Structures are given as structure tokens and as C-alpha cells.
């Protein structure tokens, strides 16, 4: 692999000049905050443990700061960008600043939530500065849609990072924590200062590492069935599971039966349960429903 030129990455002046030339102002609507520090994007690539054989997918590349840093290391990079102006400009930026790597870059002009396939080889890693307002749904969608993604590193709002990486029993443990853990081992992987962005956000940012589980959660229930339990448990998180799951199960009595069968206290709350326990609860509801719908045996 030939080495990129030393000044290939975007600095503060480059980002502002590029934005001015395109008539771009970062918008709050799309949660855009552009990284203007080359050391930060290289740090993200290192923390993500991107390898020379990786096929990386990036969501929300913006002006290309992180994209260029990924192309320094990865075999291929596919960027998914929803913004019309940014999507049109990015290939030109890559070709101008890193011509020897431009053949290893692909752009998908789309809303990441609608992406079901990507060009080229299957992605092995997801690395992204995710727009704060859609970070969790985009992350979960990508993990579900592309099971080939083994390693993920995302930069998100600090409190979102805390929620994603929270263990059972934590005050911020909730739906994002459980659903992310369905797919991967999740941990905080560092903090990012506000001054590396333009414009500087009003919130701190954090890095979250997700390493795909070597073995999926062992359960007879489907992902949709497990996630339905999770959603119900946290919709009224102050209630006991017996009460919170009454609607999901059909009644409080049915919820209690499913909980007891799963070995979970009906008086527990969702924040105390690991993903495996939610899966057991889902199994017992689906098993009971299957029993209820069996055809009567003809004598």
C-alpha cells in the first residue's frame, strides 16, 4: 500500500475553507458537528483497531475528516451520507487529497436507516462520528443489517455513550444498553473534547467500542420478541416487571407466569436484568402462546 501524503488529512482551516466553498453550514437538524483536528481522527482509527484488511463502513462522513484517516489504514472505506451537497463533494475531496487511495473509496448517498446493502465486500468494521439525534437507531440498524461487522467504534454524545455501555443496575441502564448488548460486548473507549469540532457542540462526546459477540445470545425467541420485552419493561421503568409487562403479556397474571417460568422475580425492575434474562422472558411468552394455539388432539 502506498503511503498518503503527510498533509492529506483536514485541519481547521481546510474544513472551514471546504465548507465555505460548498456553501455549507453545519445544521442542528442533522446533528452535524465536523471534526477539525487530524490528531483526533487518527486517535479514533487507532482506538477502533482498524487493520489493513478491514472493510470499513462510515456513517455521516460530512466533509471527510474521519474518512481520510480511515483510508490511511483500511483496505476499503464505504461512506453513507444523507446530505446532498456533502455526498456530491466527498469523492472529489478524497481524489484531491488522497488520489492513491481513491479507488478504495465508495459513497452511498442515502439515509443510513434505509441502507440494506453496500457495494463491494461485506463490511468488517463500523467507525463513525454519528449524528447525535439519530445515533442509537442508526447504530442498532447497522449492527442488525450487517452481521459481518465485527468491530464498531462510534463517537456519540457523552450521555448516550454512558447509556450504551451501562451495566445492569446502573441508573442510566436502559433500552439502548440492552439492545446494544444483544449484538456486542460494549464499553466506553474514551472522551472527546468539544474544541475538536466545528461548530463546538454544547455537550461532551464519548467513544463507544462494540465487539460483536462470538456467539449470539442463546434463545429460542427471535430478536423482535426479545426487543418487545425490553421496550415494554422500560416504557414504565418505575413499575415492577409484573406491572410493566402486563400489556405485553396480556395481563399482569400472565406477565407474572412468564417471569416466574423464566426465573425472574415479578417484583424486579427492567434496569436489573441482563439481555439473557429478557431473552428467557420472551421465550416463555412465545412458548405459552405456542401452547395456546396448538390444534386440539383428535381422539
Cell of 146: 450487517
Considering the entire predicted model, what is its pTM?
A: 0.90
Exposure string for 118-129, b = 16+ CB within 10 A, e = fewer: beeeebbbbbbb
Which pLDDT does position 291 carry in this prediction?
45
How far is the C-alpha of 61 from the C-alpha of 195, rounded, in Å?
19
What is the share, in percent, of the chain residues with pLDDT greater than 70?
91
- HSE-CB for 255 with a 13 A CA cutoff: 23
For the residues 143-164, what does the mean pLDDT come to?
97
pLDDT of 290 above 50: no
Cell of 205: 462526546
Provide the pLDDT confidence category of residue 110 given band limits of 50, 70 and 90.
Answer: very high
Judged by phi (left if over 0) then psi (alpha if -120 to 50, else beta), residue 106 lies in beta
Provide the pLDDT confidence category of residue 237 given band limits of 50, 70 and 90.
Answer: confident
Q: Which residues contact 20 (CB under 8 A, 6 or more apart)?
A: none
For the residues 144-170, what does the mean pLDDT come to?
97
Provide the pLDDT confidence category of residue 31 given band limits of 50, 70 and 90.
Answer: low
Residue 66: helix, strand or coil by DSSP?
Answer: helix
- Give 236 or 6, the one with higher predicted confidence: 236
Cell of 3: 503511503
Please report, in angstroms and rounded to a whole number, the separation of the first and last CA atoms in the chain.
Answer: 74
Per-chain mean pLDDT for the chain: 92
Please write the tens of the pLDDT for every residue from 79-93.
Answer: 999 999 999 999 999
Amino acid at each position: 500500500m502506498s503511503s498518503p501524503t503527510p498533509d492529506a488529512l483536514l485541519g481547521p482551516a481546510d474544513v472551514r475553507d471546504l465548507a465555505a466553498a460548498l456553501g455549507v453550514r453545519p445544521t442542528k437538524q442533522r446533528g452535524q458537528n465536523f471534526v477539525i483536528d487530524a490528531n483526533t481522527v487518527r486517535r479514533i482509527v487507532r482506538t477502533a483497531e482498524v487493520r489493513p484488511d478491514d472493510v470499513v463502513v462510515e456513517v455521516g462522513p460530512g466533509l471527510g475528516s474521519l474518512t481520510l484517516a480511515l483510508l490511511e489504514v483500511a483496505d476499503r472505506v464505504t461512506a453513507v451520507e444523507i446530505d446532498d451537497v456533502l455526498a456530491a463533494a466527498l469523492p472529489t475531496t478524497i481524489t484531491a487529497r488522497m488520489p492513491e487511495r481513491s479507488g478504495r473509496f465508495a459513497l452511498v448517498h442515502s439515509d443510513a436507516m434505509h441502507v440494506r446493502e453496500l457495494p463491494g465486500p461485506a463490511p468488517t468494521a463500523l467507525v463513525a462520528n454519528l449524528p447525535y439525534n439519530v445515533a442509537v437507531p442508526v447504530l442498532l440498524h447497522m449492527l442488525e443489517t450487517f452481521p459481518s461487522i465485527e468491530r464498531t467504534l462510534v463517537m456519540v454524545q457523552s450521555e448516550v455513550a454512558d447509556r450504551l455501555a451501562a451495566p445492569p443496575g446502573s441508573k442510566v441502564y436502559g433500552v439502548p444498553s440492552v439492545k446494544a448488548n444483544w449484538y456486542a460486548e460494549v464499553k466506553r473507549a474514551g472522551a472527546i473534547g468539544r474544541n475538536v469540532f466545528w461548530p463546538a457542540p454544547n455537550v461532551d462526546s464519548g467513544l463507544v467500542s462494540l465487539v460483536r459477540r462470538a456467539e449470539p445470545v442463546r434463545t429460542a425467541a427471535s430478536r423482535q420478541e426479545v426487543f418487545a420485552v425490553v421496550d415494554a419493561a422500560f416504557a414504565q421503568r418505575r413499575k415492577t416487571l409484573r406491572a410493566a409487562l402486563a400489556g405485553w403479556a396480556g395481563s399482569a397474571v400472565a406477565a407474572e407466569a412468564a417471569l416466574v417460568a423464566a426465573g425472574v422475580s415479578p417484583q424486579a425492575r427492567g434496569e436489573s436484568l441482563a439481555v439473557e434474562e429478557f431473552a428467557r422472558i420472551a421465550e416463555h411468552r412465545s412458548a405459552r402462546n405456542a401452547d395456546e394455539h396448538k390444534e386440539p388432539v383428535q381422539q
